[in-house]
Amino acid sequence: MGPPGVIGNWPYQRFVRCMGTLSDILEGYDNQAAMASTFKDLIEVVHDPDLPYSEISSILSRLSGRISSKLEEGIRLAIDSAKSRGNTHEFPAVRIKKVLEHYVQDTILPQDRAMFPKQLALLFIILEKFMGGLKGHQVHTIISLLSAYELMEKLFGGNIEA
C-alpha cells in the first residue's frame, strides 16, 4: 500500500515522517541521500513551538466521540487558554493532566479508575513527552535516535566510542 500520496505539513506529521525515515536508515535501509535533509528537518520541527499542539490535536481528533464531551472540552479549553496567552513555548501539560485527574475523581467510578489511563494511553504519552517542555522533548528525541544507533552498532560489533 505504501505511504500516503499527500503528506501533511503539520509539525506533528513532519516529526513522524522524519522519525520514520531516520528509524528506517538506522535499521539498515540505505537512504543516505535523504539523511542529511531529514535530520535538518527533524531539528527544525522539534524546535517548533506548535509541535505539541499539533500532536495533541491529532490525538483529540482520534478520540473525539470516544471520550466524554466534558473531558474533551476541558482539554481544549486548557490548550486554547495557553495559546491565547501568546506563550506557545509553554505547553500546558501539567494543566491538562490536572483536568484528567479531576475528571477521574469526579466522574469515574473507583473500580473503573485503573482502566481509564489505558483508554487514553496516547494522551498520557503526549503529556509525559512534553512535561519537561519543548526542550525536554528535544533531548528525548535525540537520545532515542542515539540509542537506536547504539543498538544497531552493537549488532555488527561496532564500538560506540569510536
- Which tens digit of pLDDT belongs to each residue from 50-86? 999 999 999 999 888 888 889 999 999 999 988 888 7
What distance in Å separates the CA atoms of residue 44 and residue 7, rounded to the nearest whole number? 17
For 125-152, what is the mean pLDDT? 90
pLDDT score for 159:
64
| Structure-model confidence comparison of residues 155 and 42, the more confident one | 42
Contact 27, 101 (CB under 8 A): no
Three-state DSSP at 34 gives helix
What distance in Å separates the CA atoms of residue 162 and residue 156, rounded to the nearest whole number? 13
Neighbours of 70 (CB within 10 A): 12
* pLDDT tens per residue, range 27-45: 888 777 888 899 999 999 9
Contact 15, 51 (CB under 8 A): yes
CA dihedral for 118, 122, 127, 128, sign (positive or negative): positive
Give residue for cell 522539534: 46
Contacts 24+ apart (CB under 8 A), 112-116: none
Query: Helix %, strand %, coil % for the chain, to 5?
Result: 70, 0, 30
pLDDT score for 41:
95
Give the start-to-end residue ranges of the domains of the chain. 11-48+137-155, 51-131
What distance in Å separates the CA atoms of residue 63 and residue 59, rounded to the nearest whole number? 6
What distance in Å separates the CA atoms of residue 157 and residue 152, rounded to the nearest whole number? 9
What distance in Å separates the CA atoms of residue 105 and residue 111, rounded to the nearest whole number? 12
What distance in Å separates the CA atoms of residue 100 and residue 123, rounded to the nearest whole number? 10
Mean pLDDT, the chain, rounded, equals: 86
For the whole model, what pTM was predicted? Answer: 0.82
